[in-house]
Amino acid sequence: MASVSRLFRIAIDGPAASGKSEDKQRTYLLKTCCTCLDIKEKPTTALGTTAKRLAKRLGFGYLDSGAMYRAVTLKCLEKGIDPNDPKTQDQVSAVAMTARIRFPALGKVELDGQDVSEAIRTSAIVRHIQPVAANPAVRQTLANQQRAMARGDEKEEEEEDAWPGFVWQSKRVRGVVMDGRDIGTVILPDAELKVFVVADPFVRAQRRFAELQAKEPTITVEAIARDLVARDEADRTRLTSPLKKAEDAEELDTSHCTIDEQVESIEKMVHHRLDRFLKSQQQHQ
């Protein structure tokens, strides 16, 4: 069986927010891009959950760009650096350059060899991540790493086996799903599929609340909603890589969709683009 040489990239973008309940989760922004899946999400949309489940169903790799900014934020806080202090921005940039971030398995995040999958999902990280995400030097450093990951340059041997892909017209198609806020516009502007996911802001806040309440009993939906709105506005108006829908992105409103329904919708978009993708591969062989 022949194997397609390039990865099918899916870019999913939009506000960020994930929940644990299958029936109640909604995704806000989803983008799928050429040979890589690029998913951008707004702060409370269950986007990460959708992207991970999509990657698992397709046998693709999954790269959570937001987790990389969270990991840099965590490392700054561990070093006693306050990202909210304008005087520390050079230090924050230096932390990003030395942070070794990997995705060893679906849903897992490693920072300098340590599993930080849970440590980066706290309200403390949310309160400090904005200046990290807005730092041009940090964005450039992580953007270079993300593009390398999307090409498969950063995969280790065991990770290669974890991206088996699926068979289409007697050819094995491998790929990667990447979610974030600038994947389809900046990181993977040539992705095979770009999906921009949107959802009602209060629905997003409820999802985030469901995710955080066990770890942070004092958190409220109202406080989460305020944080989400503030982050969305900051991301939309920042000078470097602002959050916006790519012109060629499919828009998916997930306010009233289950996770499975979201995944099925995007999977149909993938299949619709496969024939063109395989034809382009044949022309370059």
Domain ranges of the chain: 2-283
Residue-wise over 128-145: b if at least 16 C-beta within 10 A, else e?
A: bbbbbbbbeebbebbbeb
Residue 20 pLDDT: 31
Give the CA-trace dihedral at 66, 69, 74, 76, to 10 degrees.
-170
Domain 2-283's class?
Answer: alpha beta
Task: Read off the pLDDT of residues 76-121 as tens digits, 9 standing for 90 and up.
Answer: 999 999 999 999 999 999 999 999 999 988 889 999 999 999 999 9
Task: Read off the pLDDT of residues 163-183 as tens digits, 9 standing for 90 and up.
Answer: 788 888 888 889 999 999 899
- Helix H or strand E encompassing 45: strand 36-45
Integer-rounded Cα radius of gyration of the chain: 18
Q: What is the mean pLDDT of residues 160-164?
A: 68
pLDDT-derived band at 210, boundaries 50, 70, 90: confident
- In percent, the amount of the chain with pLDDT more than 90 equals 48
Residue type at position 213: Q
> Which one, of 196, 251, 200, lies nearest residue 225 by Cα?
200
Rounded Cα distance, 60 and 48, in Å = 14
Residue type at position 7: L
Length of the chain: 285
> Which one, of 276, 159, 253, 141, lies nearest residue 203 by Cα?
253
Mean of all residue pLDDT scores within the chain: 82
Listed range (169-183, 197-211, 237-251) with the worst mean pLDDT: 197-211
**Cβ contacts of 51 within 8 Å, gap of 6 or more:** 12, 30, 37, 39, 62, 64, 177, 178, 179
Residue 244: both structure tokens together: 């916006």
Residue-wise over 24-36: b if at least 16 C-beta within 10 A, else e?
A: ebbbbbbbbbbbb
> Which one is predicted more confidently, 129 or 200?
129
Is this structure's pTM higher than 0.85?
no
